[in-house]
Amino acid sequence: MADLLGIGTSGLLAYQNALNTTSHNISNVNTEGYSRQRVELDTRIPQASGAGFFGQGVYASNVERVYDEFLVKQLRTYTSSSNRAEVYHDLSSQIDNLLADPQVGLAPSLDEFFSSLQSVADSPSSIPARQAMLSTAESLVDRFHYIDQRLRDLKTRANNQLEFTVGEVNKLAESLATINQEISVQMAAAGGKPPNDLLDQRDTLIKQLSEHVNVSTVNQDNGMVNIFIGSGQGLVVGSNATQLSIRSDEFFPDRNAVVLGNPATGPDISGLLGDGSVGGVLDFMDNVLTPTQISFGRLAMGMADAFNEQHALGLDLKDNAGTDFFRAPAPTAFGSFNNTTNALPTLTLVDVAALGTDEYLIEFDGVATWSALNMRTNAVTTPLGVTTIDGVQVDVTTIGAVAGDTYRFVLSPSAQAARDIGLVIDDPSKIAAAGLLRGGEAVDANGQPLVPNAGTGSIDEIVVSDNALYPLAADITMTYDDVNNWFVLGGAAAGTLAYDPATDNGQLSAPFVVGGTSIQLRLSGNPQTGDQFTVGNNSGAVADNRNALALGALGSADILIGGTSSLQGAYGQMIADVGAKTHQAEVTLGAQTTLLNQAAASVSAVSGVNLDEEAANLLRFQQAYQANAQMISAADNLFQTLLDAVRR
């Protein structure tokens, strides 16, 4: 009977435990990372007797956490990748939206600027038209600056996010080191039984860590886990946590890099962190933000340079050759903070059409040789001296590197161009709308024909390569000889200029050089021997719009990307590129979210609490408890029966 009482009590205690655990499950139904628990029941050691072994009841042998390590690790992986996709998408959409807004984008300003240029061509002497053109030029420059500033703001935001995330990772690493320690102590105290709720807490922390970086774990015998991030950098080993820190990128001071350990001496692990929000931020900076800044800068640089070049070939209202209209951004390279000196290579833009969007790592080998590595294609150019790369002449000889020096640069010619572009001209009369030179039939002091010409020849267009020849010391005189089909040049020029009316009518002539400038003429008609023409300095040409027309033509001319794309075309390509990347990010995010939800559902299917199930268990354990209580009552009855039997 004592046995009966003992067995009944064992059942009561065991089911009390089971009911406790069920109630624990129910109360934690909404606890994040909670894994449901089960009490394992075992029979107690039976008692041997002559008749064999009599069972001694039940005991709770273990409280087990229902858990599948593989599924949990899978969930971490998908958490990392979907967080990367989310951050990447979130940041990319910002640029996408910035460029989408027609009021904010560059296109309307470009259109207005070139329209106003046409108005100057319509009435070159009109000061209001010239003033309007300066205003549109100013708002175009403002628009460049505005969009550039928004892109910089996004970089700041990305940098801040990186800093915040590193702070989070550090906090998590410390918590994980502490909880590792706690688990090993608790486990030792419990004789190797796992402290389930602490394990859940640790898993939750690891999952939070995987939101920021790629995480891998290795279990230790004492219940601790060692935690590695990125491609195997130890973050938490046992109860020790390593801190991450932030420092400026080796080349770009306006860009944060993630460092393992000491911010001054630790290795830069930015490129190794893989997925997670850190990966998303870095990915965005590398693949969306920087390329957008570079192509946008190329637009600024290309426009300023091409416009200035044409503007210099014109004459302003005060009879001066055109000066710089825009402040043309200079090509840029960025030196490593490890360089021996702060010297930079001398960079000169030589060909706008050849400007690319690739970045180059320019490096001194520490002996004598320089090389340039295209960071996209990995193609290497070596040795460098004065070498033209993508339309930019790079001169490394001015640095004067000697053996033992360390020099590394990133050549990114247009990275800051959208910030650096400016407007130089503020005086409407300085717009060079007229041509530098003018030509026509030779005339005397009264403007009457000198010869006069008997033929029908005329000079329709004068093309000059630069303005070095202006002003000419004397007019260029041209006298036709229809035997040799050429003009004999005189005055400022010498030699002959071939013109055969049968084949050269309306064609641009061969170039001839005056004062270092090459001149070409478009001639037409049938001149006769002795007919004279002059080409001379233009002056007082307030109604002359020839250069304004040429400037206006730049608006639709293919001056960028190897001469295949206009300014608007290049801007359109940039929008399409950002749009396509954002669209891609959207698709990836969708896919990653689905995968994440599935992984979470799989983990939850194993470890999550189902209230109906717990209700059923509650009922089951309650019934068992009641039955065991009944056993005690039965034992009491038996005992009473015995007492009654002997009570006399």
Partner 1 sequence: MRISTNVMQMNSLNSMLEQQSGLHQTQLQLASGKRILSPSDDPTASALSVDLNQSKQQFSQYQDNISYAKSRLSMEETSLATAVNILQRVRELAVQGSSDNYNAEQRQALAVEVRQRLDEMMGIANTKDANGDYLFSGGKGATIPFGVKGSAVVGGLTYNVYGYDGDQVQRKLQVGPERRIADSDHGFDVFINLRDANGVQMDVFAMIDEMSVALENDVMTSKPIGDIDNAIVQMTQIRASVGSRLNALDTQESVNGDFLTRIEETMSDMHDLDYAEAITRLNSEMAGLEAAQQAYGKVQGLSLFNYL
Select from 8, 276, 335, 555 the one that contacts partner 1 (CB under 8 A).
Answer: 555
Q: Give the nearest distance from C-beta 629 to partner 1 in angstroms.
A: 19
The Cα 336–Cα 350 span in angstroms is: 25
Q: Applying CB under 8 A, does 468 fall inside the site for partner 1?
A: no
Q: Give the nearest distance from C-beta 84 to partner 1 in angstroms.
A: 18
End-to-end CA distance of the chain: 22
- Transcribe 519-584 into DSSP letters: EEEEEES---TT-EEEEEE--S-TT--HHHHHHHHTTTS--BTTTTB-HHHHHHHHHHHHHHHHHH
Please report which helix (H) or strand (E) contains residue 281, including its range. helix 276-284
Give the nearer residue to partner 1 in terms of CB position, either 114 or 360: 114
Task: Please give the single-letter amino acid code of residue 118.
Answer: Q
Among the candidate windows 223-231, 235-243, 519-527, 604-612, which touches partner 1 by CB under 8 A? 604-612
- Transcribe 473-524 into DSSP letters: SSPEEEEEETTTTEEEEEET--EEEE--HHHHTTSBPPPEEETTEEEEEEEE
The Cα 426–Cα 405 span in angstroms is: 46
Q: Give the nearest distance from C-beta 177 to partner 1 in angstroms.
A: 29
Site string for partner 1, 46-65 (x = CB under 8 A): --------------------
Give the nearer residue to partner 1 in terms of CB position, either 223 or 527: 527
Site string for partner 1, 73-92 (x = CB under 8 A): -------------------x
Task: Name residues contacting partner 1, limited to 576-595 (CB under 8 A).
Answer: 576-580, 582-583, 586
Q: Applying CB under 8 A, does 268 fall inside the site for partner 1?
A: no
3-state secondary structure of 169: helix
Give the nearer residue to partner 1 in terms of CB position, either 79 or 538: 538
Whole-Å CA distances, 257 to 168, 272, 358:
16, 11, 21
Task: Name residues contacting partner 1, limited to 481-540 (CB under 8 A).
Answer: 538-540
Give the nearer residue to partner 1 in terms of CB position, either 14 or 575: 575
Among the candidate windows 133-141, 300-308, 609-617, 633-641, which touches partner 1 by CB under 8 A? 609-617
Select from 19, 39, 99, 519 the one that contacts partner 1 (CB under 8 A).
Answer: 99
Select from 27, 556, 564, 630 the one that contacts partner 1 (CB under 8 A).
Answer: 556
Select from 440, 495, 506, 563 the one that contacts partner 1 (CB under 8 A).
Answer: 440
Select from 190, 367, 379, 611 the one that contacts partner 1 (CB under 8 A).
Answer: 611
Tell me which residue has tokens 């030509």. 439
Find the Cα–Cα–Cα–Cα dihedral 499, 503, 506, 508, rounded to 10°.
-60
Q: Applying CB under 8 A, does 298 fall inside the site for partner 1?
A: no
Six-digit token string for 512: 């001839």
3-state secondary structure of 472: coil
Q: Applying CB under 8 A, does 630 fall inside the site for partner 1?
A: no
**Residues 560, 561, 564, 565, CA torsion sign:** negative
Q: Which residues pair with 156 in a beta bridge?
A: none
Q: Applying CB under 8 A, does 601 fall inside the site for partner 1?
A: yes
Would you say how long the chain is, in residues?
648
Give the nearer residue to partner 1 in terms of CB position, either 2 or 445: 445
Select from 56, 126, 181, 239 the one that contacts partner 1 (CB under 8 A).
Answer: 126
Q: Give the nearest distance from C-beta 178 to partner 1 in angstroms.
A: 28
Give the nearer residue to partner 1 in terms of CB position, either 62 or 456: 456
Give the nearer residue to partner 1 in terms of CB position, either 374 or 507: 507
Q: Applying CB under 8 A, does 607 fall inside the site for partner 1?
A: yes
Give the nearer residue to partner 1 in terms of CB position, either 134 or 401: 134
Q: Applying CB under 8 A, does 612 fall inside the site for partner 1?
A: yes
Among the candidate windows 411-419, 443-451, 522-530, 640-648, which touches partner 1 by CB under 8 A? 443-451
Among the candidate windows 349-357, 383-391, 419-427, 572-580, which touches partner 1 by CB under 8 A? 572-580
- Transcribe 582-593 into DSSP letters: HHHHHHHHHHHH
The answer to whether 523 touches 504, Cβ cutoff 8 Å, is yes
Task: Name residues contacting partner 1, limited to 181-210 (CB under 8 A).
Answer: none
Number of residues that bind partner 1 (CB under 8 A): 83
Q: Applying CB under 8 A, does 111 fall inside the site for partner 1?
A: yes
Whole-Å CA distances, 516 to 308, 309, 360, 470, 537:
19, 16, 35, 10, 16
Q: Applying CB under 8 A, does 322 fall inside the site for partner 1?
A: no
Give the nearer residue to partner 1 in terms of CB position, either 361 or 549: 549
Q: Applying CB under 8 A, does 571 fall inside the site for partner 1?
A: yes
Listed in order, strand segments (DSSP E) in 102-223 are 215-219
The Cα 293–Cα 286 span in angstroms is: 11
Biggest CA pair distance of the chain: 166
Whole-Å CA distances, 477 to 36, 167, 316, 452, 473:
101, 78, 24, 14, 12
Q: Give the nearest distance from C-beta 443 to partner 1 in angstroms.
A: 7
Q: Applying CB under 8 A, does 124 fall inside the site for partner 1?
A: yes
Q: Give the nearest distance from C-beta 502 to partner 1 in angstroms.
A: 24
Q: For the chain, how are helix, strand and coil distributed in percent, rounded to 5?
A: 45, 20, 35
